[in-house]
Chains A and B, each alone.
Chain A
Amino acid sequence: MSAAGQELVVRVDRTRCVGTGACTWTAPEDLELGPDGRARPLRPVSDDRPGLTEAAEMCPVEAITVLSAASGEVVAPL
């Protein structure tokens, strides 16, 4: 289990998401494509900082926001 304060929450703006699936390859533990062809989080909190940061930075429409679970601060994209 990750240390408190390292836990991350991922949000997907489902209106913006164009369903490339890119994030689901980068962070397969945290994101999947729903039946409507839009990405959705798989678990309430995550500790995969590199994967989620990469997913947020590479989303072609910036639909992904990664927040610190503790502070609500935006971790990615910056």
Chain B
Amino acid sequence: MTVEHGETSSAQPLIPLHCLRHAEPGPPRLTALPNGTPVWLATRHADVRQVLTDPRLDRATLFAPDAPPTSTGPNLLDDPEGLLNIDGPEHQRLRRTVQRAFTPRAIARWRPWVETVIEELIDDLEAAGSPVDVVAGLTRSLPIAVISRLMDLDGVDLQRLGHWSDHALSTSAYPAEQVRQAMREFYAFSEQLIADRRKNPGDDLVSSLLLAAAETEGVTEGQLTAMVCGLVVAGHETTMTSFGNALVQLLSEAPEAWARIAVDLADATAASEQILRAIPLSDATALPGLLRRAVADLEIGGVAIAAGSVVAADIRTANHDPEVYPAIGPLDHFAPLGTPSLTFGAGPHHCLGAWLARMELELGLHRLANRLPGLRLAGPLEEISWREGLLTRSPASLLVAW
């Protein structure tokens, strides 16, 4: 069977992500990664926050020669020159080359434009007629259109970008050699793009990254190449995942919430925050959480953890910690969150694209519900085909009707 876009057909229908059960949070406990490497798992909100913010835990030493193996197979997140895998002052310097473009204010300037893109995509959905695949038409197209515009990827073959992105986050969807091949092509594309923008700078994200990097000490070509690939992938995959999974939840069990999201943008904003908190981006099968390594002996939630240990921050469980988010019945989309969720992480590696993702999700949900208030799933949940074998899971396609 050829498997494209990480699609596979399981014998057993997979459970939608909003229906997954969450473990009871408790003190850090020793468990193992799928490859057998021992890992301390933090699950309580406060412990997870500590794992992500405490300078005695880092990312870079996960790739040190003495580190136990933690990789899920070749993928982009394991590049030691990637922003995610650099720590301390070097990370601060590299992150500053892109941070300014992603502050809440900088992102807010894109709002009117993003809204037009959404309206156009919904025009096309309507023109295609009911039923239609909302993944191809909106949840995948929107993030691609947005990141392509930010990075000025006009004229780039978006199919190829999508192909590379899928491979970049593969765990088991593709054979290792195929992933390596895709990564080689992706990096070559990135190097070429960097060379082009150095020659002809514009007002896009890649050009401003290069400009800032030129004024920053110690930024390497490898870091820039990995950054460009990282932005393409992050821009593509994660927002599509949360948007798709949000629609599965809203359209299958929350018609009242859908009606409110349609009318009031503030309600759409609140609902997006709750959805981002409550619906995880993946099954915990490949990785139990965000990985770190202890660079010194420390204590987390009363448990002693030795230097050199691998620690996983389980944000999905922490996002359901009853100490912080009292679980009263079904998801209340409009309850104020109080404490920020850990969906975008915390600490130095807190998600660069958090505000961009939030804006795409809230505007996308608001406009779609407003234009198509009677939207419903065209088929049963059990028949959804999922993108599998990747670090994230979301519908490969989702037929909706009105």
Interface residues of A (CB under 8 A from B): 15-16, 18-22, 25, 33, 37, 57-62, 77
> How far is A26 from B157 in the complex, measured between Cα atoms in Å?
40
Whether B346 is near chain A, meaning CB under 8 Å from some CB there, is yes
Q: Which of B98-118 contact A (CB under 8 A)?
A: 99-100, 102-105
Contact in complex: B96, A21 (CB < 8 Å): no
Q: How far is the CB of B324 from chain A (nearest CB, A)?
A: 12
Interchain residue pairs with CB less than 8 A apart (7) = A16-B340, A19-B52, A22-B99, A25-B89, A25-B92, A37-B49, A58-B103
Whether B293 is near chain A, meaning CB under 8 Å from some CB there, is no
Whether B50 is near chain A, meaning CB under 8 Å from some CB there, is yes
Collect the chain B residues with CB atoms within 8 Å of residue A37's CB.
49-50, 52-54, 346-347
Query: Chain A: which residue is nearest B105 at the CB level?
Result: A77
- The residue among B53, B55, B102 with the most chain A CB atoms within 10 A of its own CB is B53
Contact in complex: B104, A33 (CB < 8 Å): no
Collect the chain B residues with CB atoms within 8 Å of residue A57's CB.
100, 103
Q: How large is the interface on B (under 10, 10 to 19, 20 to 34, 35 or more residues)?
A: 20 to 34
Collect the chain A residues with CB atoms within 8 Å of residue B95's CB.
22
Contact in complex: A58, B53 (CB < 8 Å): no
If over half of A's interface residues share one DSSP class (helix, strand or loop), that class is named, otherwise mixed; here it is: loop
Contact in complex: A22, B352 (CB < 8 Å): no
Contacts across chains A and B counted by CB atoms under 8 Å: 62
- On whether A60 and B346 interact (CB within 8 A), knowing A15-B340, A37-B50, the answer reads no
Contact in complex: B340, A62 (CB < 8 Å): no
Contact in complex: B348, A22 (CB < 8 Å): yes
Q: A20 touches which one: B49, B102, B350 (CB < 8 A)?
A: B350
Collect the chain B residues with CB atoms within 8 Å of residue A60's CB.
99, 102-103, 350, 352, 354
Q: B105 touches which one: A20, A25, A33, A62 (CB < 8 A)?
A: A62
Collect the chain B residues with CB atoms within 8 Å of residue A22's CB.
92, 95-96, 99, 348
Q: How far is the CB of A20 from chain B (nearest CB, A)?
A: 5
Whether B339 is near chain A, meaning CB under 8 Å from some CB there, is yes
Collect the chain A residues with CB atoms within 8 Å of residue B344's CB.
18
> How far is A57 from B340 in the complex, measured between Cα atoms in Å?
20
Contact in complex: A19, B347 (CB < 8 Å): yes
Collect the chain B residues with CB atoms within 8 Å of residue A16's CB.
340
Q: How far is the CB of B325 from chain A (nearest CB, A)?
A: 14
Contact in complex: B105, A19 (CB < 8 Å): no
Collect the chain B residues with CB atoms within 8 Å of residue A33's CB.
53
Q: Which of B314-354 contact A (CB under 8 A)?
A: 338-340, 344-348, 350, 352, 354
- The residue among A20, A21, A62 with the most chain B CB atoms within 10 A of its own CB is A20
> How far is A25 from B93 in the complex, measured between Cα atoms in Å?
10
> How far is A25 from B95 in the complex, measured between Cα atoms in Å?
12
Q: How far is the CB of A73 from chain B (nearest CB, A)?
A: 18
> How far is A15 from B345 in the complex, measured between Cα atoms in Å?
15
Query: Chain A: which residue is nearest B345 at the CB level?
Result: A18
- On whether A18 and B99 interact (CB within 8 A), knowing A60-B352, A77-B105, the answer reads no
Collect the chain A residues with CB atoms within 8 Å of residue B340's CB.
15-16, 18, 61
> How far is A58 from B104 in the complex, measured between Cα atoms in Å?
10
Contact in complex: B99, A21 (CB < 8 Å): no
> How far is A21 from B348 in the complex, measured between Cα atoms in Å?
6
- The residue among A15, A18, A58 with the most chain B CB atoms within 10 A of its own CB is A18
Contact in complex: B104, A62 (CB < 8 Å): yes
Other 20 A-B pairs with CB < 8 A, given A21-B92, A58-B103: A15-B338, A19-B350, A20-B346, A20-B347, A20-B350, A21-B347, A37-B49, A37-B50, A37-B347, A57-B100, A57-B103, A58-B96, A58-B100, A60-B102, A60-B103, A60-B350, A60-B352, A60-B354, A61-B340, A62-B105
> How far is A59 from B95 in the complex, measured between Cα atoms in Å?
12
Collect the chain B residues with CB atoms within 8 Å of residue A25's CB.
89, 92
